[in-house]
Amino acid sequence: MNRQRILLGFACLVVLGIVPGLGAEKLVFSELWDPSTVSARIFWDLRLPRLVLTLSLGGILALVGGTYQSLFRNPLCEPYVLGISSAVLLGVISSELFLQHPAGTPVSISMGMLAALGLVAVLIVFSASPLGSPERVVLFGMSANFVLSSLLFLALSMQSQNVGGGTLKWFFGFLPWPSWQEGLWAVGGGLVTLVILGSASQALEVLRLGDAVARTLGVAPVATRNLLLVFTSLVMAGVVAFSGTIGFVGLVIPQVCRFLFRPNSMKELMLLSFVMGAAFLSLADGLSRALVPPYEFPVGVLTTLLGGPLFLWVLWKKK
Amino acid sequence: MNELFEAAQYFMRLADHRQPSPLFEKAQRVWMQAQKEPLNFKYLALAWMDPPILFGRETFFVSLLNSLGAKGLFPLQWSTEFLKVSEEWLIAQTPERVIFLSHNDQSTQRFKQKCRQWWPKNTPPCQAVPADHFARASFTPVLNLQELSPNSESKP
Amino acid sequence: MGSVEEKMKPVMLKAVQLVVGFEKGSPLNQVPLNFSLPQKGLVALTGTNGSGKTTLLRSLLGEKTLLSGNWFWDGISIPVQKWSAGNLSKHIAYLPQEPLYESTQTVQDHWRLASKVRSFRFDLQNLASELGLSLNQRLGEMSSGQRQRAFLGRVLLQPCQLMILDEPTNHLDTELKQDIWRTLKQLSQGQLIWLATHDTENVTSYCDEMISLSSTI
């Protein structure tokens, strides 16, 4: 076991070393220290904040995915399974269509978050009702997802060509070139998510034993599930409002971690998932920019290309 | 383009137009002028800002500019109509002019802002051209491009 | 119908006019149940399948299976079915009939979950040896009998006043069944153990009291 963790640490260092070098332009190492050169500007103003962003987002996605897989007792859960992403996208695109505030502006992001909160409220009411077992909450979320997606496609088909020509990128998942400020916000968000979900990890483990047993072990099932739902939904709403739906990270990384490292506790799984998710997304992002320069693939394409086979491999080996 | 003018003249004669249209005459004059004094600069032509999308070699816009003597900057191997490029690539270029097809005042402002951001040292003249004018095949574009000749200065 | 052998023991838990069933469902017992449970001892809950044993047990654990009536814990005015999880965990430990588990968990990980309640200095290794288990074995790689022993271990590790067990000797061979009954009997000298079981033979040998449910006609 230890050997594999050391390998992971090593792989992460390699990723950190390689990714800042990946991109459309080749950098000249000697120029990096002169702030006026193109190489320096690309490295310090573009690539590093982006690296910081992708590390945080990747960690968050993997964490939330792992949490949902545990919470809903379903290994196929993605962070988007509850339909929060569709709600956010609907809010963002509605703001563009009806309020003339294009996607990416603070107004559109607020609309996205409002829509997400609306859905969260509905989910909580459902979860607290007698019908609301964890498995049913997922099904409810999936149905909400279908409904919202169709509304979304309707809204998109209503768009004139000039409005939000880049709207499709939200579906593939995209990463912007963030400012250092945005990058640091992302780090903050990542750390907060790690701390909060990490501290909930034992409660999650206890919940796996069933609601009645959980109560005898001091964990209130409905309240805990609802709190986790609200928190993760808020986090995911923020992520989606910022970068669309980046797929596969939340689905595959916790599975791979479980398979490779056989962690003894949920807390360990969460830490490993965070680290591996961070490395995975940064690598996918770096490759998306370096494969066919100067074209940059939407990062979701790379996460699917890399994550899909990885997932199949885990499924194969698990037999 | 010469053929285009000839074809237009031919059709106008067919339609029995005694007077050629003023627009047509002006465009023809500008065109002739440009043949004598070609627009001799390196340019980047942007169709979209976010993400940055270049007009490719196969587009009417670029053909127009190139036939007026200007030299487009393109990533080497691409020859499609519209190229999505990385901001890294943009920063690494050294265009002498940057042209953007703008849809409204707001996007023009953003364009000028972005140009300053991408090339803070020696910001090249950045010109926003109304997208409306390029919505149909017409001679109107030639009038706009007159402003790009070496005799007129456009400040960023 | 309920029949209870009354003994002169201090009462810990009292059932008053209980009617159990599933929410919005029909009741599982026609006559409301009234009985008490002592502070210490081994009490069995018997009845045919469908008579509502599990439903009755679960009504003590915050599950919404009480159609009417109340549970009263001696000295606490809030009925037990309305207790918070924090309160429940201080008094009750529970082993369900077919416990859910994580197949990649080792015995040690599973037992560690019991420590959420309070710190315990039990010697895990000791308990493992007594139950014939290895701490590093994964639950998914065990026979159902071994797993049942691991589940029992988790409950045994939880200090409590009331231990509720639903078919605890499921999947165990006769010899092991006896072992478990003996252990439970011993433990019941310090706490109340209430278990639902089909094992009527051992009930008569080991239990102090028996509560029998019969299904509605």
Each residue's pLDDT expressed in tens, for chain A with a length of 319 residues:
577 888 888 888 888 888 888 888 888 888 888 888 888 889 999 999 999 999 999 999 999 999 999 998 888 888 888 888 888 888 888 887 777 776 667 787 788 888 888 998 888 888 878 777 777 888 888 888 888 888 887 777 766 544 444 566 667 778 888 889 989 999 999 999 999 999 999 999 999 999 999 999 989 998 898 899 889 988 998 888 778 889 889 999 999 999 888 888 899 999 999 999 999 999 999 999 998 888 888 888 899 899 999 988 888 887 6
Closest CB to A293: pick one of B51, B86, B91: B86
Residue of C93, C104, C116 with shortest CB distance to A206: C116
How far apart are the C-alpha atoms of C110 and A206, rounded to whole Å?
A: 9
Cross-chain residue pair A166–B50, CB shorter than 8 Å? yes
Per cent of chain B over pLDDT 90 is 3
Average pLDDT over residues C57-75: 87
Do chains A and B meet with 3 or more Cβ pairs nearer than 8 Å? Answer: yes
Q: Which of B51, B75, B78 sits opposite A166 (nearest CB)?
A: B51
pLDDT of residue A255: 93
Does the interface predicted TM-score (ipTM) exceed 0.90? no
- Cα separation, A61 vs A82, in Å, equals 14
Are B92 and A296 within 8 A, CB to CB?
no
Instruction: Output the pLDDT for position C95.
Output: 95
- Scanning every residue of chain A, which has its alpha carbon at the shortest distance from the alpha carbon of C95? A213
pLDDT at A166: 57
CA B21 to chain centre: 23
Closest chain B residue to A104 measured between Cα atoms? B50
Which chains reach chain B with 3 or more Cβ–Cβ distances below 8 angstroms? A
Query: Rounded to whole angstroms, what are the CA distances from C50 to A193, A296, C33?
Result: 45, 63, 16
Instruction: Give the SS3 label for residue C41.
Output: strand
Range B36-60 average pLDDT:
84
pLDDT at C15 over 50: yes
- Closest residue by Cα to residue C160 from C63, C55, C88, C73: C88
pTM here is 0.84
Q: Which of C84, C94, C104 has the CB atom closest to A212's CB atom?
A: C94
Residue B121's pLDDT band (cuts 50, 70, 90): confident
**How close C194 comes to chain A (CA, Å)?**
15
Nearest to C55 by CA among C206, C216, C204: C216
Q: Is the dihedral of CA B126, B130, B136, B142 positive or negative?
A: negative
Q: Strands, DSSP E only, in chain C?
A: 11-20, 33-38, 41-47, 66-73, 92-95, 162-166, 192-196, 209-213
Q: What number is the average pLDDT over the span B120-132?
A: 83
Spatial CA neighbour of B126 closest among B156, B153, B90 = B156
pLDDT of residue A206: 92
Q: Where are the alpha helices (DSSP H) in B37-139?
A: 60-67, 87-92, 105-118
Residue B137: pLDDT over 60: no
Residue of B77 and A19 predicted with greater confidence: A19
Tokens (6 digits) for A262: 């056989």
Q: CB-CB: which of C86, C96, C160 is closest to A212?
A: C96
The minimum CA-CA distance between B75 and chain A, rounded to whole Å, is 7
Q: Please tell me which residue of chain A has the smallest CA distance to B47.
A: A165
A213 to A59, A128, A297, C61, C95: CA distances (angstroms): 31, 18, 48, 8, 7
Going through chain A in order, the beta strands assigned E by DSSP cover none
Domain ranges of chain C: 39-51+81-213
Chains B and C touch (3+ CB pairs under 8 A): no
Amino acid at C116: K
- How confident is the prediction for chain B on average, in pLDDT? 78
Q: Which residue has the higher pLDDT, B46 or B58?
A: B46
- The pLDDT value given to residue B148: 65
Three-class SS state of A107: helix
Peptide bond into A20 cis (omega under 30): no
The confidence score (pLDDT) of residue C216 equals 46
Instruction: Identify the band that residue B138 occupies on the pLDDT scale cut at 50, 70 and 90.
Output: low
Question: Per CATH, the architecture of B39-146 is what?
Answer: 3-Layer(aba) Sandwich (3.40)
| Percentage of residues of chain C with pLDDT beyond 90 | 18
Q: How far apart are CA A77 and CA A21, in angstroms?
A: 33
Pair C62, C88: CB distance under 8 Å: yes
Q: What is the dihedral of CA A132, A134, A137, A139, to 10 degrees?
A: -120
Residues belonging to chain B: 156
Range of weakest confidence among A10-14, A189-193, C50-54, C149-153: C50-54
- Give the fold, CATH level 3, of C39-51+81-213: Rossmann fold (3.40.50)
Q: Which of A131, A216, A267, A314 to mutate to test the interface with C (most CBs of C within 10 A)?
A: A216
Q: Please report which confidence band the pLDDT of residue B79 belongs to, taking 50, 70 and 90 as the band edges.
A: low
Burial of A2 (0-12, 13-18, 19+ CB in 10 A): exposed
Query: What's the pLDDT score for residue B149?
Result: 61
Nearest to A236 by CA among A123, A127, A97: A123
A166 near B CB under 8 A: yes
Please give the pLDDT value at position C176: 86
What is the pLDDT at residue B36? 83
User: Which of the two residues, B3 and C187, has the higher pLDDT score?
Assistant: C187
Side-chain half-sphere CA neighbours of A17 within 13 A: 6
Q: How far apart are the first and last CA of chain C?
A: 11
What pLDDT, on a 0 to 100 scale, did the predictor assign at position B139?
58
Q: Is the pLDDT of residue C215 over 60?
A: no
Where is average pLDDT lowest: A120-134, A267-281, C75-89, C178-192?
A: A120-134
Nearest CA of chain B to the CA of A152: how many Å? 22
In this structure, what token pair is assigned to residue C116?
A: 């959420």
Distance from CA of C137 to the nearest CA of A (A): 12
pLDDT given for residue C119 in this prediction = 46
Residue contact A264–C109, C-beta within 8 A:
yes
Mutate to test the interface with B, among A42, A163, A295 (most CBs of B within 10 A): A295
Q: Is the pLDDT of residue C118 over 60?
A: no
Omega before A134 within 30 of 0, i.e. cis: no
State how far the alpha carbon of C157 is from the alpha carbons of B6, C123, C217, in Å.
97, 10, 40
Question: What pLDDT shows up at residue A181?
Answer: 92
Residues B51, A294: C-beta atoms closer than 8 Å: no
